[in-house]
Amino acid sequence: MNKLTFILNILIILFIACSSNTQNASEKSSEKKTNEESGEAKIVESECDTTSLDYFSKIKFPYYFLDSLNSKEFSEEKYLDFSKCDYSIFSSSSSVTKLKYISLQDTTDNYVIMIYHQGMMENYVALVSFDKNLEKQDLLILFHPYGESVYPDTDFKYEEKVINISNENKKVIFDSFKFTLINQTFYSLRDNVTGKELIDIGSEKIQTYTVDKSGKFKLMDKSETKKDYVKAYWESL
């Protein structure tokens, strides 16, 4: 073996040894990171205790068993912000939506909770149901507190009056094991001659729901009424 060959062999051995040490160090670092992440996940899970059957009993809801709520009474400043654990329970991301507790409405067969959902595209008040194992069962939007409809700003002449949409009132009324959603649209009727204005409920939509034992919201009854001038108003558009 000449001198050059000997030096090359030594360099190859040193290169292999260094590569092996680097790989081992990388594996240990990766293993450590995985263990740390796993430990952190366990800590978060332990802090949340999302399997506890008395999870909701520990929350200080702003209200308990409300008789009713309407869009005029709605005030998000009065409601309770979700914690990180709450977002986990509701399977929602705090980076996309902001959630608030309004009230605890039922604890008989299921937990029924009223919340306020504030998102990038849609804000609404809703009921969410969970079974006794804290499994989410259903969600029903009750109303949009800041309105969702865009109405035409136009005068419509009907008989001796000028018709325009005035505003809306949306509400939910709770009664034992059922609840009713009422959506009323008010119209202004201005007399062409006297200029006198009357505010009238031009249309009303009513839906009655119940919660079955599995925690699902079931529609029991619905009705919708519209005054003649409302039908004529929309047909003219």
* Residue range 162-214, pLDDT digits in tens: 999 988 999 999 998 899 999 999 999 999 889 999 999 999 999 999 999 99
Percent composition of the chain: helix, strand, coil (DSSP 3-state, to 5)? 30, 40, 30
Residue 94 in contact with residue 82, Cβ under 8 Å? yes
Residue 169 in contact with residue 69, Cβ under 8 Å? no
Which domain, by its residues, includes 220? 156-235
170 and 135 together in one domain = no
Q: Is 34 exposed, middle or buried (0-12, 13-18, 19+ CB in 10 A)?
A: exposed
Please give the residue that has the higher pLDDT: either 233 or 96: 233
CA dihedral over 198, 204, 210, 216, signed as positive or negative? negative
Beta strands in the chain (DSSP E): 63-64, 68-70, 80-81, 98-106, 111-118, 123-130, 136-143, 156-158, 161-175, 178-191, 197-211, 217-226
Q: What average pLDDT score do residues 22-35 get?
A: 46
Q: What is the pLDDT of residue 50?
A: 64
Structural domain contains residue 68: yes
Average pLDDT taken over every residue of the chain = 82
Given 108, 143, 178, which residue is the final one in a domain? 143
* Structural domain count, the chain: 2
Q: pLDDT band at residue 146, thresholds of 50, 70 and 90? A: confident
66 and 132 together in one domain = yes
Structural domain contains residue 162: yes
Q: What is the pLDDT of residue 147?
A: 67
82 and 104 together in one domain = yes
Nearest-angstrom CA–CA distance, 220 and 180: 10
Given 91, 113, 143, which residue is the final one in a domain? 143
Structural domain contains residue 83: yes
Is the pLDDT at 37 greater than 80, yes or no? no
160 and 200 together in one domain = yes
Tell me the per-residue pLDDT of 82-117, one tens digit each, with 9 for 90 and over.
998 899 888 877 777 899 999 999 999 999 999 999
161 and 228 together in one domain = yes
Q: What average pLDDT score do residues 32-60 get?
A: 59
Nearest-angstrom CA–CA distance, 39 and 200: 62
Q: pLDDT band at residue 40, thresholds of 50, 70 and 90? A: very low
Give this prediction's pTM.
0.74
Q: pLDDT band at residue 34, thresholds of 50, 70 and 90? A: very low
- DSSP helix/strand/coil, 36: helix
